[in-house]
């Protein structure tokens, strides 16, 4: 199309994609307590989550003192959990417990869409 090689003619060969790229499935049992239902998914991915959130913190650090900002965010955002509708407070606290990531940062990750629209 218009700007090769950054654009291309309409693909007709992309499907099926490689099996290795197919995403797995996690069963979220809503009969389980909110605090426990995500643990089976997030606990094994703790390192990857920490790296992701560290990336966001590093970006914050470009503009302000990272340590202070992160402490402030934790202090500001953690209490927000209890203002969310059920079952989200329990789910977010459960993820924080399972991964060891501070609750404020788990909340930042979960409201990032609202933040990012700026």
Q: Are the C-beta atoms of residues 65 and 57 closer than 8 Å to each other?
A: no
The rounded distance, in Å, linking the Cα atoms of 64 and 72 is 11
Applying CB under 8 A, which of residues 59, 64, 67, 72 lies at the interface with other proteins?
Answer: 59
One-character DSSP codes across 65-92: -HHHHHHHHHHHHGGGGGGSPTTHHHHH
- Examine residue 63 and tell whether it contacts other proteins (CB under 8 A): no
- Examine residue 85 and tell whether it contacts other proteins (CB under 8 A): yes
Tell me the closest approach of the beta carbon of residue 105 to other proteins, in angstroms. Answer: 10
Taking residues 27 to 46 in sequence order and writing x for each that binds other proteins by CB under 8 A, - otherwise, the string is: xxxxx------x--xx--x-
Tell me the closest approach of the beta carbon of residue 95 to other proteins, in angstroms. Answer: 6
CB atoms within 10 A of CB 96: 20
Phi (first) and psi of residue 81, to 5 degrees: -50, -40
Q: Fill in the DSSP letter of residue 60.
A: H
Tell me the closest approach of the beta carbon of residue 32 to other proteins, in angstroms. Answer: 10
- Examine residue 51 and tell whether it contacts other proteins (CB under 8 A): yes
Applying CB under 8 A, which of residues 56, 57, 66, 74 lies at the interface with other proteins?
Answer: 56
């Amino acid at each position: 199309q218009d700007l090769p090689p950054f654009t291309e003619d309409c693909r007709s060969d992309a499907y099926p994609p490689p099996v290795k790229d197919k995403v797995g499935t996690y069963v979220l049992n809503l009969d389980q307590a909110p605090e426990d239902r995500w643990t089976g998914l997030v606990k094994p991915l703790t390192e990857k989550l920490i790296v992701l959130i560290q990336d966001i913190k590093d970006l914050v650090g470009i503009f302000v003192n990272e340590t202070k900002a992160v402490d402030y965010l934790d202090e500001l955002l953690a209490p927000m959990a209890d203002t969310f509708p059920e079952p989200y407070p329990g789910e977010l606290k459960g993820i924080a417990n399972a991964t060891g990531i501070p609750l404020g940062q788990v909340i930042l990750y979960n409201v990032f869409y609202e933040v990012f629209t700026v």
